[in-house]
Amino acid sequence: MTDSARAVQDLAAAIPVGEPPSGADLTRRARRRRRIRIASVAAAIALLALAAGLLASAGPQAGAGKAGRGQAHNQLTAYDVALAAGRHALTALGGPPVGSFGLIRSGQLWVLDGDGLFLTGDGGSSWKLIAVPGAGDPLANYEAIDFVSLRQGWIVVGRVNSLQVARTSDGGKEWSSVTLPASLFPRGWQGADVSFINQYDGWVVVQPYTPPGRQARSVVLYTTDGGVRWTVATAAAPVSSVIFSSATSGWGLGLGATSLYRTTDGGRSWQPVTLPRPAGTATGAWISLTLPEIAGGRAVLLAVPARGDAITESTGDGGLTWVARQAPFRGEPVYPQAATGEGAVCADCVVPGDEPFAVLGPAQWRYWGGDRVYTTTDSGATWSSVQPNLSFAAVGGTLGRVGVDNEGSEPPLQFASPQTGWALASTSSANGQQSQSVLLVTNDGGKAFSAVPSPRG
Amino acid sequence: MDDAGTGDERSRVGSAGGLTPFEAWYRGEYPNMVRVLTLVSGDAEIAADAAAEAFTRALANWDRVAAMASPAGWAYTVALNVLRRRQQRARIEQLIARREPPPPPVPEDRLYLWEAVRSLPPRQRTAIVLHYVADMPQDQVAKVMGVAPGTVAATLHAARDSLRDKLNGSDSDGTDRP
């Protein structure tokens, strides 16, 4: 037993614990969960019945139907400048829809919550709300989101026993939804991802619930018509999220975020990828990998082996050859919550996706580690770093140090341009007793960040 | 399975001590789970809710859970997954509604320990409290966290080193039980 261990045990013992809920309380809670499941099924049946006349075949394998026209929000404008590729900035959220935030190509920002998408095109000075399917529905979760243009986007809306892929082609004025067949996940689902490469070709990954001890495998569906019809590519994919560079070539992050896979047939089959390691870095299994980002024909990811080394990996030939370089910062891994198929239970998995690693171009990358922002412009051969100035004036007062990894999740860091970027930081007071989540924006390449006012004022 | 019925039926055939097997297990595991989740999340309220949710699911599936090699391992995995979602929701609520984060739930004389543990990266923090507070062996910590056993060993090592540095002490024993 070490002194550190004793300290942890001493601290745990000092935490007061109230009386556990009574058995009756747990029973009531279980009944409530059961009612929600039943309500969800009833709602899905009612929805399908209403939409029966509009159902369109999704192909013999998938059997997905077009669930009819979604809500038309005529009172909402498109806010064209704001919607654009914010992929993988959203992770799964359970329970009542609360949402997440994402960063978008043109320097704008969205925040997704139960009321819809809050969008800003002016650095957070003003916000506009666009309703999305599932808004206001306490049974709905937003599982994944992707936009390929200012107008063309998709959101995966999950309920207890159903998943819908909603699409818009007018910047959110109108949405249409396809309900994925429940036969693809008969025991329920535990995570989903969506990825498009253009307005036609896209993929959805669904992680069915996997009982303990069973090998977890995902269902990959694809569309070639913008999401009107979905066809199953495979029901045995070892991946939790995907990104494609063409209609056939793509990458998949393994369940558990510790392995990488490659497909060259549109997601029908997946081959494991062996990533090289620079000399002197730790061997053994990867602690975590990020899903590659594709820029200028190169796929770039951050890999973390044991011991916390950080290794940038990039390839320009589809994975035949890799350039692996150790970075000067410590790799803080994405916390893997996806089922590994090795016995881990994953009742409410989230898909890793928010990393403090931003790919601005094929050779220009940034990382926020500790209190410094690191930048490379030569594919990781050399790095420079700055300790950014932080201003919290917009949210009132001055907070202490920024702890980017103290709240159970890595802060997304994305740059819309070499100068403009965003981060979600957790700030804490000097003594660590108070913390707060704050959106930050930089307009000088990371030298200074300032807090963004809340969408709700 | 009827969720409620399972509990009622077990109550009728309960042990001589008046507790069903589920209740006995639940009452034994609950305090430590809340402490573990509080240390992982920093939020005692979210921790208690996640623990209650995990035990609710265990109750609803008790026949299956009770037959597992480690019902506690299953419950901790579920609880950590629930906790993760609750934390994300809380972060966004703080962001959108400017809600105040909760104060540390420990006495003032333990604040330095609280700060040291809370400053660990999430994976290290989770591993060290599962190992030392939930008293799980490393292979079970690996299963609960969904990582390789070797990863847990390395993570625990790094966590101990980091804590030792933060506490300005030196560990008397650098080794650890499996």
Rounded to the nearest angstrom, the minimum Cα separation between A248 and chain B is 30
Query: What are the pLDDT digits (tens) for A145-185?
Result: 887 776 788 888 887 678 899 998 887 888 999 999 989 98
Average pLDDT over residues B96-118: 80
pLDDT of residue A111: 64
Percent of chain A with pLDDT over 90: 25
pLDDT at residue A114 is higher than 60: no
* Spatial distance between the Cα atoms of A343 and A216, rounded to a whole number of angstroms: 9
Query: What are the pLDDT digits (tens) for B37-56?
Result: 999 988 888 899 899 988 98
Where in A255-401 does DSSP place strands (E)?
Answer: 260-263, 271-272, 286-289, 293-295, 298-305, 311-315, 323-326, 357-359, 365-369, 372-376, 384-386, 389-391
Rounded to the nearest angstrom, the minimum Cα separation between B61 and chain A is 10
User: Which residues 52-91 of chain A have a CB within 8 Å of chain B?
Assistant: 91
- Number of residues that this document lists for chain A: 457
Contact call for residues B50 and B75 (beta carbons, < 8 A): no
Query: What are the pLDDT digits (tens) for A396-438?
Result: 544 444 443 333 334 567 676 788 777 766 555 444 444 555 6
Rounded to the nearest angstrom, the minimum Cα separation between A224 and chain B is 33
Average pLDDT over residues B59-83: 83
A218 and B CB contact within 8 Å: no
Structure tokens at A29: 């809670």
Interface size A-B, in CB pairs within 8 Å, comes to 278
What does the mean pLDDT of chain A come to? 70
Contact call for residues A338 and A207 (beta carbons, < 8 A): yes
Closest CA to B43 of A300, A375, A437, A249: A437
pLDDT of residue A191: 77
Compare CB distances from A33 to B48, B56, B97 and report the shortest one's residue.
B56
Average pLDDT over residues A44-52: 38
Strand, coil or helix: B130: helix
Strand, coil or helix: A128: strand
Strand, coil or helix: A52: helix
Query: What are the pLDDT digits (tens) for A323-377?
Result: 999 999 876 544 433 333 333 333 333 333 456 788 888 999 988 776 788 999 9
Q: What's the half-sphere exposure (Cβ side, CA atoms, 13 Å) at A103?
A: 26
Contact call for residues A269 and A228 (beta carbons, < 8 A): no
pLDDT of residue A319: 92
pLDDT of residue A213: 61
Q: Which of A48-62, A155-169, A346-360, B16-30 has the lowest mean pLDDT?
A: A48-62
Query: What are the pLDDT digits (tens) for A200-248?
Result: 999 999 988 766 566 789 999 999 999 999 999 999 999 988 999 999 9
Q: Which of A116-120, A184-188, A206-210, A252-256 has the lowest mean pLDDT?
A: A116-120
Rg (CA), chain B: 18
pLDDT of residue A42: 40
pLDDT of residue A396: 52
pLDDT at residue A50 is higher than 50: no
Rounded to the nearest angstrom, the minimum Cα separation between A108 and chain B is 17
* Spatial distance between the Cα atoms of A89 and A290, rounded to a whole number of angstroms: 12
pLDDT at residue B109 is higher than 80: yes
pLDDT at residue A31 is higher than 80: no
Question: Is B121's CB within 8 Å of A435's CB?
Answer: no
Residue from B6, B61, B151 whose CB has the most chain A CBs within 10 Å, to mutate: B151
Longest dimension (CA), chain A: 68
- Higher per-residue pLDDT: A20 or A237: A237
- Higher per-residue pLDDT: A276 or A66: A276
Contact call for residues A421 and A367 (beta carbons, < 8 A): no
In A, which residues are within 8 Å of B59 by CB distance?
A: 23, 26-27, 30
* Spatial distance between the Cα atoms of A308 and A287, rounded to a whole number of angstroms: 8
User: Which residues 336-375 of chain A have a CB within 8 Å of chain B?
Assistant: 336-340, 342-350
* Helix (H) or strand (E) segment spanning residue A98: none
C-beta contacts of A217-226 below 8 A and 24+ residues apart: A217/A341, A218/A255, A219/A184, A219/A185, A220/A267, A220/A268, A221/A62, A221/A64, A221/A180, A221/A184, A222/A266, A222/A267, A224/A200, A225/A200, A226/A152, A226/A167, A226/A169, A226/A199, A226/A200, A226/A202
Residue from A345, A409, A410 whose CB has the most chain B CBs within 10 Å, to mutate: A345
* Residue B156: closest C-alpha in chain A: A5
Rg (CA), chain A: 22
